[in-house]
Amino acid sequence: MATQEESSGMMPDFMFYFLLVIIALAVGYFIYLAIFTFQPVIDLQRNARATLEISENLMSSPLTTSKAVFSSAELDKIDNKIVEPYVRHCAYGYKAEIESGGRKWIFGYEPRDFGRYFDSLKEHALKTPVSVDGKPGTLTVTTYENTITSASCLIQRAFVLKKIEKWPCKIPTAGAVSLPRETRAVRCDIKLEKQRDDFLCIGAAVEEAPLVECRHLPGIQVQKFIFKGKKFNEIKDMFLVAYPLKRYADSCENLNPADIAGEKDDVVTVLLCIEEAAKP
């Protein structure tokens, strides 16, 4: 049997190792939080900041007569239209709702069936007090980030910057209809096409499938894109790539590097391609 002196000598050792275990568990927990929850927090901050910036800019746009005082005559011109007038965020589409004096005006982009149920949709809303023709009201801006908003931003950046732009893309796993909400990627298996020159529209990757929703993208020509990805089905890491072109190309497979626009060239159109991520 241990003597009293031996028992008292064992206690500090036990407490020391006990504290080491507690510290190790705490460190592991914080590492877990950093790896698995940091990105969603960043996303939330980006979404909130974009929503605030769009709201602030709308309240100083030509839709107003003075700061945060909207004109009903100007709002009537864009009511129920899928345009993002005077204020545009590349990566986030937005819907604006203005209510005052028993009336409501709505304009902008809003996800429909595809963007809401078959995509990795992220959204954020902000309500701000404003007025319309001097009558009190509210402005509610809801921002959305999904495949069509990211793809339109990719196209816009390639066209304006005259640079090849890319964004990670994925296909939902077997049995799933959408990408996980936290995915920082767009869907690969889609169809994208300009309609009436001013709208980029999305649908399922089938030639006969209807285009189900659109985002306003004026002044930029885009060649029709349909995912034909049988050879990519087993590849996990893919990119949607936007090429700014100075002349039209027949296909991604036959793309001539000489057709890619440089900083001194005029961009005629943007070609979208799916490419496998380069192996390290």
> Can you tell me which residue has the tokens 């001194």?
264
Sheet with strand 64-66: strands edge to edge? 64-66, 69-70, 122-132, 135-145, 93-100, 103-108
Is the pLDDT at 255 greater than 50? The verdict is yes
19-28, 60-69, 94-103, 203-212: least confident range: 19-28
| Overall average pLDDT of the 31-41 stretch | 34
- CA–CA dist 250, 152 (Å, integer): 21
- CA–CA dist 54, 94 (Å, integer): 8
pLDDT for res 112:
84
pLDDT for res 114:
74
pLDDT for res 35:
32
How do residues 133-181 score in pLDDT, each as one tens digit? Answer: 999 999 999 999 999 999 999 999 999 999 999 999 888 777 777 777 6
11-20, 89-98, 111-120, 214-223: least confident range: 11-20
pTM exceeding the 0.85 threshold for the entire prediction? no
Is the pLDDT at 129 greater than 50? The verdict is yes
% of residues, the chain, pLDDT over 70: 78
SS3 for the chain, per residue?
CCCHHHHHHHHHHHHHHHHHHHHHHHHHHHHHHHHHHHHHHHHHHHHHHHHHHHHHHHCCCCCEEECCEECHHHHHHHCCECCCCCCCCCCCEEEEEEEECCEEEEEECCCCHHHHHCCCCEEEEEEEEEEECCEEEEEEEEEEECHHHHHHHHHHHHHHHCCCEEEEEECCCCCCCCCCCCCCCEECCEEEEEECCCEEEEEECCCCCCEEEEEECCCCCECCEECCCHHHCCCCCEEEEEEEECCCCCCCCCCCHHHECCCCCCCCEEEEEEEECCCC
How do residues 45-73 score in pLDDT, each as one tens digit? Answer: 788 999 999 999 999 999 999 999 999 99
Is the pLDDT at 88 greater than 60? The verdict is yes
Domains of the chain, by residue range, sit at 50-145, 147-276
- With CA atoms as reference, report the closest residue to 88 among 211, 192, 217: 217
Is the pLDDT at 4 greater than 70? The verdict is no
22-26, 89-93, 152-156, 258-262: least confident range: 22-26
Token pair recorded at residue 260: 């890619």
